Chain A
Amino acid sequence: MSFLEKMMLIDRRWIYLSIGLAVIIPVVVQFEVPVSVSPEVKKIYDFVENLNAGDYLFIAVDYDPSSMAELNPMAEAVLNQAFAKDLKVIIVTLAQFGPGMVEDLTTRLAAAHHRVRGEDYVFLGYRPYPAITIMLMGINFRVPFPVDHYSVPLDSMPMMRDIRNFADVKAVIDFTAGNTADFWITYGVGRFDFPLAIGITGVMAADYYQYLQSGQIFGIIPGVKGAAEYEQLVGFPGKGKEQMAYQVIAHSVIIAFILISNIAYFATRKQKQQLGGGR
């Protein structure tokens, strides 16, 4: 059996092992990958950057631990920028394991920027059924969330005193790993027409660019590459940028496997045709 024929029958575990070994390389040999910024990521950065201190930004953290590898870095970068600019941040989660994600982010970043809960930011909490929750928040944040995640009444918080619904915030930025982005676009923008940007996983990215072109969203942060771009813009090197070196090595190995398997496929097909078999 030739090398190419062996490659056609390779056990998938060798591929797993190769990828596993490849991603260890940047652990040993550390290097930085240059990141070019996409216009769709820059638009979100510019939007937040042009807000004034005291303006309200609404952030939805609609992901759970299984997606934090991609979404945590971008949420962290945006929150860093918002806290650094002294914006008032309202946070909600429509993912059932989202409260843990939000608490981890806000605890670390609020402490780093000396921001106080109830004065500089508020975490509304979690409610199931995203469509209903979004529509109720469009009427008044107090309908689905009379109290915040820590059972503090919204009306007792200084920063929430004159804030009723999406009309009182400058924009909504949704970080999501599922179809919650559809709910925000449909029931949020469709009904209440507020500026919306989304940070999404790589798997989802190709499906959501159409909403950028139609103007239904004003920016996209796609996957860990988008997170690395945002970190670069904010000037805060985090886990997104750190991951890019690993991504380059892993992608190179995958491309090598795709090339070898395609060469093997066409070469063995030619051999089979010469022998009178195959298609």
Chain B
Amino acid sequence: MTTEQAILNGIAVFLTLCIFSFLYRDNPFYKFAERLVAGVATGYWTMLLYHTNFTDKVLTPIFVRGQLHYIIPALLGVLMWTRFSKKYAWLSRYSIAFYIGISSGVTITVTLYTFLFKQLQATIGMPITADYAGINTFLIVLAVVSALVYFFFSLPHKGAIGTVSRIGIYVIMIGFGAGFGMTVMGRIALLVQRVIFINDYVRGLVAFIGGS
């Protein structure tokens, strides 16, 4: 560990502890760290967007390469800012209309294809076999149908429909359970990573002080 690493990682350890202090209760250390994150993130992103987008997509094409057609999207972007004026806010509708039109045209077909048709095709097209794969197929079809029936409100959930709907709610709960279990793992991973970082820092610092 170098002196630079000792100082910079020391700041990181201090800020980590500041954030964790919120688990006890809200306090000035937590507020300081929280505001620092917000400030640094805003500054970083603003400059990143300026250099990777405004420069590359507006300034360079128009003023360096002379590609004047880039003025059209740039102008549509400028019109979005008129929303801050009561008098000229209507001008922003042109940009919004253009954006919604493009987005809808691009999105609707691929979204239907990806999230509906491909999923339906995969569920319908599964082979029914007399082995473990067949059991999986049966469970997937049962889960899909019963979960759909649970959200089908045009018939009362009584008798056979009620039974299938009941299976549907269990299927949904199993899904939530799996999601919750994975969420716990993810959240613990965040804590563990910081614990490992602090542990590595303390060990490194002890070795650094002992060696110098």
Contacts and interface: CB of A to CB of B under 8 A. Distances in A.
Interface of A: 13, 16, 19-20, 23-24, 27, 66, 68-70, 96-97, 99, 125-128, 131, 135, 146-147, 185-187, 189-191, 201-207, 210, 213-216, 222-225, 239, 242-243, 246-247, 250-251, 254
Given A126-B52, A128-B53, A243-B193, A187 B188 contact: no
Interface string B177-212: 011001111101111111110010000000000000
A247 B23 contact: no
B186 A24 contact: no
Interface in B53-95: 53, 56
Contacts of B53: 127-128
A84 B105 CA distance: 43
B111 interface: yes
Interface of B: 23-24, 41, 44-45, 48-49, 52-53, 56, 106-107, 110-111, 113-115, 118-119, 121-122, 140, 175, 178-179, 182-186, 188-196, 199
Nearest to A246: B192
A25 to B, nearest CB: 10
B115 to A, nearest CB: 7
B44 to A, nearest CB: 7
Given A99-B48, A127-B52, A246-B195, A190 B110 contact: yes
B196 A96 contact: no
Contact of A97 (B41, B110, B193): B41
A239 B52 CA distance: 32
A189 B115 CA distance: 12
Contacts, number: 119
Contacts of B193: 68-69, 239, 243
Closest 8 interchain pairs by CB?
A202-B186, A69-B193, A214-B122, A202-B182, A246-B192, A206-B179, A190-B110, A202-B185
Contacts of B56: 146-147
A interface SS class: helix
B117 to A, nearest CB: 10
A247 B185 contact: yes
Contacts of A186: 107, 110-111, 114-115
13 contacts: A13-B23, A23-B188, A69-B189, A70-B189, A126-B52, A185-B114, A206-B178, A216-B114, A225-B185, A239-B196, A243-B193, A247-B192, A250-B188
Nearest to B125: A214
Given A23-B192, A206-B178, A213-B122, A128 B49 contact: yes
Given A128-B53, A203-B182, A247 B188 contact: yes
Contacts of A66: 190
Given A97-B41, A210-B119, A247-B189, A13 B24 contact: yes
Nearest to A214: B122
B62 to A, nearest CB: 15
B195 A203 contact: no
A27 B45 CA distance: 36
B4 to A, nearest CB: 16
Contacts of A242: 196
B52 A125 contact: yes
A32 to B, nearest CB: 15
Contact of B185 (A68, A189, A191, A224): A224
B195 A24 contact: yes
B64 to A, nearest CB: 12
B113 to A, nearest CB: 5
